[in-house]
Structure 1
Amino acid sequence: MMSSQTLGENISQPEITNVSSHGVWILCGNKELFMSYEDFPWFKDVPVGKILNVEEVSPGHLYWPDLDVDIGIETIEHPERFPLKAK
């Protein structure tokens, strides 16, 4: 007999939907967001497997453990408010 129990909120984990020559598409909840390599240079020239390994560590906050990169969803939605250029 199977039983199911709810543990906390039902939060779907973020999912990388596409990696292109221009950037990365990520599905967060019901929104698909785009991260250009210009605004998010940490994802350029990185093996796809490391980009696919993403988790939502807290609501609205994403973390790529293989890259040690954490980014808020608001930053992805409005990169012009948060200039994050790599040095």
Structure 2
Amino acid sequence: EVVSKLRFEVYQPGDYIIREGTMGTKMYFIQEGIVDIVTTDGEVATSLSDGSYFGEICLLTNARRVASVRAETYACLYSLAVEHFNSV
């Protein structure tokens, strides 16, 4: 059932997937590519790649995003919206 709720999204290098301070409405699963977790001062805290996921904490806590996420390479992601997250 979860698979039917996923939405395929593609980002180009340099695209922001998540902006720090925004409300979290989706979480993401990386099918292919590399994304960087970027801190307030613009530093890359860590990178995530194929099979990783991010953005789930805000869906659980209703908090604002604490970091930005930027595509380092072309990134093929699947997103799961908060309303579907809560139903599964």
| Fold shared per TM-score above 0.5 | no
Q: TM-score range by the shorter chain?
A: under 0.3
Larger relative contact order (CA 8 Å, sep ≥ 6): 2
Larger Rg: 1
When normalised by structure 2's length, the TM-score is 0.27
More strand by share: 2
